[in-house]
């Protein structure tokens, strides 16, 4: 393989310019990516996943009204001093994950939410001629190692472009981008094709594209010429399909669970799962759940 396709991945792109309409009115002012999953915002969890994978530079594709996201990563000396003074070392530790060193955060603007493909294209000048990781922040994963760390391991062996995947129930394929792969039972396998939201009978596999990518910079030239596609948005999948004609794509099946935090029930489930998995909160959360299962509250119009 062209050694260019094995260069290290040092940059991550976080497209955070979407409108978050499914969470309105909660997201009228507060960006969806700032919603807390148990104890920290979705965006912070995504940044931590990138750090765990050895990524050093963080590029936010931001939009109107989304400045809180970048503010979250500003270092706050007064807050740190106060926590030190009160000897709150555990909180200081938690806070340190949102302190990104100078020069390592870059922000670009997507002036109109024209879709994921367009959002990624907006990072073109900041990424430059290097491979890069992409994180869809409303998808969270839970496992022994982070999803991106698993992908980097495969990238170090295979290079090229990597897509994280996870099985979905066969009758739900119509909701997702689905991969056609060489060997569906392998954890790491060559991708032959991908299909956007196929009916179950047309789905080439049950592996869905879950929202983590490692892409080569040639994707930008393809996105550049893209027309607005399905749903009035510039689709990333279409551009990846074109890139597949000239570069290899590999599927990495996530070892762990996936949670779609982009809609209410998925977000509620993710909060339960992450709280149950938390060493400090797990047991108490389980007791709360048991209480509600034994004695469910009656439905109320006020909920
Ligand atoms: P989603 O489609 O899940 O987010 O995009 P959305 O459009 O904000 O949500 P809804 O459908 O209106 O409820 C996945 C990620 O891509 C970003 C979003 O911010 C989200 O983090 N995105 C999406 C952009 O940055 N720009 C876009 O044009 C679209």
> 206-246, pLDDT tens digit by residue?
999 999 999 999 999 999 877 666 566 678 998 999 999 99
Distance between CA atoms of residues 100 and 252, nearest Å: 28
User: Are residue 217 and residue 150 in the same domain, yes or no?
Assistant: yes
Instruction: Mean pLDDT check: name the lowest of 96-100, 181-185, 209-213, 246-250.
Output: 96-100
Distance between CA atoms of residues 96 and 91, nearest Å: 9
Q: What pLDDT was estimated at residue 226?
A: 72
Looking at residue 259, the DSSP 8-state letter turns out to be: E
Question: Which residue has the least CA distance to atom 2 on ligand 1?
Answer: 18
Count CA atoms closer than 13 A to 152's CA, side-chain side.
21
User: Are residue 140 and residue 274 in the same domain, yes or no?
Assistant: no
User: Are residue 166 and residue 299 in the same domain, yes or no?
Assistant: no
Q: What pLDDT was estimated at residue 284?
A: 98
Give the mean pLDDT of 75-82. Answer: 92
Cβ of residue 119 lying under 6 Å from some atom of ligand 1:
yes
Give the mean pLDDT of 257-276. Answer: 97
Cβ of residue 123 lying under 6 Å from some atom of ligand 1:
no
Q: What pLDDT was estimated at residue 299?
A: 83
Ligand 1 atom at minimum distance from 115 CA: 28
pLDDT for 83-98, tens place per residue? 999 999 989 988 888 8
Average pLDDT value for the chain: 93
User: Are residue 254 and residue 271 in the same domain, yes or no?
Assistant: no
Cβ of residue 261 lying under 6 Å from some atom of ligand 1:
no
User: Are residue 160 and residue 82 in the same domain, yes or no?
Assistant: yes
Distance from residue 201's CA to the centre of ligand 1 (Å): 28
Cβ of residue 139 lying under 6 Å from some atom of ligand 1:
no
User: Are residue 296 and residue 209 in the same domain, yes or no?
Assistant: no
User: Are residue 60 and residue 74 in the same domain, yes or no?
Assistant: yes
User: Are residue 138 and residue 174 in the same domain, yes or no?
Assistant: yes
SS3 (DSSP) at 45: helix
Cβ of residue 17 lying under 6 Å from some atom of ligand 1:
yes
Ligand 1 atom at minimum distance from 136 CA: 15
User: Are residue 57 and residue 100 in the same domain, yes or no?
Assistant: yes
Angle at 159 between CA 156 and CA 163, to 5 degrees: 100
pTM (two decimals) = 0.94
Q: What pLDDT was estimated at residue 290?
A: 96
Question: How many structural domains are present in the chain?
Answer: 2
Distance from residue 3's CA to the centre of ligand 1 (Å): 33
Instruction: Mean pLDDT check: name the lowest of 6-15, 140-149, 289-298.
Output: 289-298
Distance from residue 114's CA to the centre of ligand 1 (Å): 9
Residues near 66 by beta carbon (within 8 Å), at least 6 away in sequence: 16, 17, 31, 33
User: Are residue 47 and residue 172 in the same domain, yes or no?
Assistant: yes
Ligand 1 atom at minimum distance from 138 CA: 21
Cβ of residue 21 lying under 6 Å from some atom of ligand 1:
yes
Q: What pLDDT was estimated at residue 228?
A: 63
Give the mean pLDDT of 259-276. Answer: 97
Q: Which domain holds residue 302?
A: 263-303
Angle at 42 between CA 256 and CA 75, to 5 degrees: 125
2/278: higher pLDDT: 278
Distance from residue 86's CA to the centre of ligand 1 (Å): 39
Among 13, 14, 16, 18, the mutation site with the greatest number of ligand 1 atoms within 8 A of its Cβ is 18
Residue 231, domain CATH: 3.90.550.10
pLDDT for 110-133, tens place per residue? 999 999 999 999 999 999 999 999
Question: Which residue has the least CA distance to atom 7 on ligand 1?
Answer: 18
Q: Do 56 and 110 meet the contact criterion of CB atoms below 8 Å apart?
A: no
User: Are residue 180 and residue 214 in the same domain, yes or no?
Assistant: yes
User: Are residue 120 and residue 130 in the same domain, yes or no?
Assistant: yes
H-state helical runs in the chain: 42-52, 67-71, 77-85, 89-96, 116-121, 124-127, 147-158, 219-224, 236-243, 264-277, 282-294
Ligand 1 atom at minimum distance from 33 CA: 21
Q: What pLDDT was estimated at residue 3?
A: 75
Q: What pLDDT was estimated at residue 300?
A: 77
Q: What pLDDT was estimated at residue 42?
A: 97
């Amino acid at each position: 393989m062209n050694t260019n396709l094995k260069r290290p991945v040092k940059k991550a792109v976080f497209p955070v310019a979407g409108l978050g309409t499914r969470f309105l009115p909660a997201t009228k002012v507060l960006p969806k990516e700032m919603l807390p999953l148990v104890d920290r915002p979705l965006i912070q969890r995504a940044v931590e996943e990138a750090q765990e994978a050895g990524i050093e530079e963080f590029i936010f594709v931001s939009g109107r009204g989304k400045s809180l996201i970048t503010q979250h990563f500003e270092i706050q000396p007064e807050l740190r001093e106060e926590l030190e003074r009160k000897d709150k070392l555990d909180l200081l530790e938690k806070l340190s994950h949102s302190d990104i060193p100078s020069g390592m955060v870059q922000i670009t603007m997507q002036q109109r939410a024209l879709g994921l493909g367009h959002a990624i294209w907006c990072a073109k000048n900041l990424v430059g001629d290097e491979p890069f990781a992409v994180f869809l922040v409303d998808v969270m994963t839970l496992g022994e190692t982070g999803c991106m760390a698993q992908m980097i391991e495969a990238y170090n062996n295979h290079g090229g472009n990597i897509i994280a995947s996870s099985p979905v129930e066969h009758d739900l394929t119509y909701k997702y981008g689905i991969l056609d792969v060489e060997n569906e039972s392998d954890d790491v396998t060559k991708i032959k094709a991908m299909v956007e939201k196929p009916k179950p009978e047309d789905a080439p596999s049950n592996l869905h594209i879950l929202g983590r990518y490692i892409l080569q910079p040639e994707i930008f030239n393809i996105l550049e010429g893209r027309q607005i596609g399905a749903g009035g948005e510039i689709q990333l999948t279409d551009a990846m399909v074109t890139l597949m004609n000239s570069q290899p794509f590999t599927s990495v099946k996530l070892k762990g669970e996936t949670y779609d935090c982009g809609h209410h029930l998925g977000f509620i489930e993710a909060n339960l799962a992450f709280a149950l998995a938390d060493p400090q909160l797990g047991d108490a959360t389980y007791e709360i759940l048991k209480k509600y299962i034994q004695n469910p509250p009656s439905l109320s119009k006020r909920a």
